[in-house]
Amino acid sequence: MRTLVAIPVYNEQKHVARVLERVLAHASDVLVLDDGSTDATSALLAQFPVEVICHSTNRGYGRSLADAFRWAQVDGFDWIITMDCDEQHEPAAIPAFLEAAAAGDADIVSGSRYLRQHDGDDLPPPERRTINMHITDELNRRLGLSLTDAFCGFKAYRVAPLATLHLDEPGYAFPLQFWVQAVANRLRIREIPVRLIYNDLNRTFGGPLNDRDVRLRHYRCVLAKELERCADRLQPGAAEGLVIPGDCHETPANCG
């Protein structure tokens, strides 16, 4: 089972060396997606035996994940594990994802910070927890899922089914597009517990998404448009009652 660990980074000079040292203790194939960093991140990456994709400008978290998926497909990996580089995902948990992937009963193994409590768990910023709960509940209701954490970026994906998806949401709303298409394409989903870690409560999304209401509205726009587009491949009523604001960003015309 060939597995690639993919790590999107943007201005992570504070964390990247420690994270890579720990990741390389558990994985030999590592891809770092440098999303237009302007600090010393790029120079630090050169010190490690990892593959690197460098974006000339910041293109977004979702674009980095889509690039990682394409790399895994072209290079013939069986699984890809994605994780963040801010030391809020523990590299020591990689073996748990490998074990769950090897069980063969899932196409997506999704980390959940709320599936089980761990000693020493941090408290998330209240507005982030509220948005996570709201969106997770709506995804469960509309898609027939039983997720506990819709936004955790610590995941393992079987590579072959990713080719059936059309994922082009470039930013932080990427998980909403992903979950809808995963269900529309009948991917098997399993959650495993991971620690809830918030090292820096001052970290932001950047730009307008720092505003809670703007961020929630954007998430709803992406979810609504994806549900509408994939409605004929979802459970009856999945898109019922959708209201898509007229200024939602346009997205492609197919459902993967």
- The contacts of residue 24 (CB under 8 Å, 6+ apart) are 30, 48, 49, 50
Per-residue confidence (pLDDT) for residue 213, from 0 to 100: 75
Q: In which band, very low, low, confident or very high, does the pLDDT at 205 lie, cut at 50, 70 and 90?
A: low
Domains and CATH numbers, the chain: 3-202 (3.90.550.10)
Separation CA 147–CA 169 (nearest Å): 21
H/E run at residue 99: helix 94-102
Phi and psi at residue 92, to the nearest 5°: -65, -15
Separation CA 81–CA 213 (nearest Å): 31
Q: Judge whether 245 and 217 are in contact, CB under 8 Å.
A: yes
Mean pLDDT of the chain: 89
pLDDT at 194 over 90: yes
Per-residue confidence (pLDDT) for residue 196, from 0 to 100: 82
The tens digit of pLDDT for each residue in 96-137 reads 999 999 999 999 999 999 887 766 655 666 676 888 899 999
Distances in Å between the Cα of 249 and the Cα atoms of 141, 169, 221 are: 24, 10, 8
* Closest CA relative to residue 235, chosen from 184, 197, 196: 184
Q: Helix, strand, or coil here: 8?
A: strand
Question: Please, what sign has the CA dihedral across residues 141, 251, 71, 73?
Answer: positive
Structure tokens given for 124: 């998330």
CA 130, chain centre distance (Å): 18
The tens digit of pLDDT for each residue in 70-107 reads 999 999 999 999 999 988 889 999 999 999 999 999 99
CB atoms within 10 A of CB 97: 24
Per-residue confidence (pLDDT) for residue 63, from 0 to 100: 97
5-14, 40-49, 239-248: which has the minimum mean pLDDT? Answer: 239-248
What is the tally of helices (H) and strands (E) in the chain? 8, 7
Separation CA 93–CA 76 (nearest Å): 24
